[in-house]
Amino acid sequence: MFKLFNSKIYELENTCENLGMYSQLHKIIGKNKLIAKVSKFDDIEELKNDLEIGNLLRRNGISTPKYIGIAKGKLNGEIVDILVMEFVEDSKMLYRYSQNLSPEFMNKLFRKEIDKL
């Protein structure tokens, strides 16, 4: 069963940074150390997968910003699912990089995790 990271609804800035065709990064109002990834199609499954991949990368020593969890955000008066992440200077490069890993590299990471079990 999926559990929300926080029941609070975060206010998001309208300005954003596009991450390809499917998602955007928004700053969270009042939280300088956090940003939110929003799926353009409000796809909770995409956000869950990104959270799992982000956590997997960190467990394997790959330097990426911390993926904190999934919560609700308010964007343009609409409530949307968001992936909350720590804000790092020049983070848009890091987030884009983590989404563009080759399938071979992702398979290696998943194999390492499976071997640990």
From first to last of the 117 residues of the chain, give the pLDDT tens digit.
345 666 789 999 888 777 777 788 888 999 888 888 888 777 788 888 888 888 887 777 766 678 888 899 999 889 999 989 888 765 444 455 555 566 676 667 667 766 765
Q: What would the pLDDT profile of 75-91 be if each residue is shown by its tens digit?
A: 988 999 998 988 876 54
Return the axis-axis angle of helices 103-116 and 44-59, rounded to nearest 10°: 70
Question: Where are any strands of DSSP class E within 6-102?
Answer: 9-19, 23-28, 34-39, 67-75, 78-86
- Phi then psi for residue 66, to 5 deg, are -70, 130
Q: Where are the domains of the chain?
A: 9-116
* pTM of the predicted structure, to 2 decimals: 0.68
9-116: CATH topology is: Phosphorylase Kinase; domain 1 (3.30.200)
Confirm if 12 and 74 have CB atoms less than 8 A apart.
Answer: yes
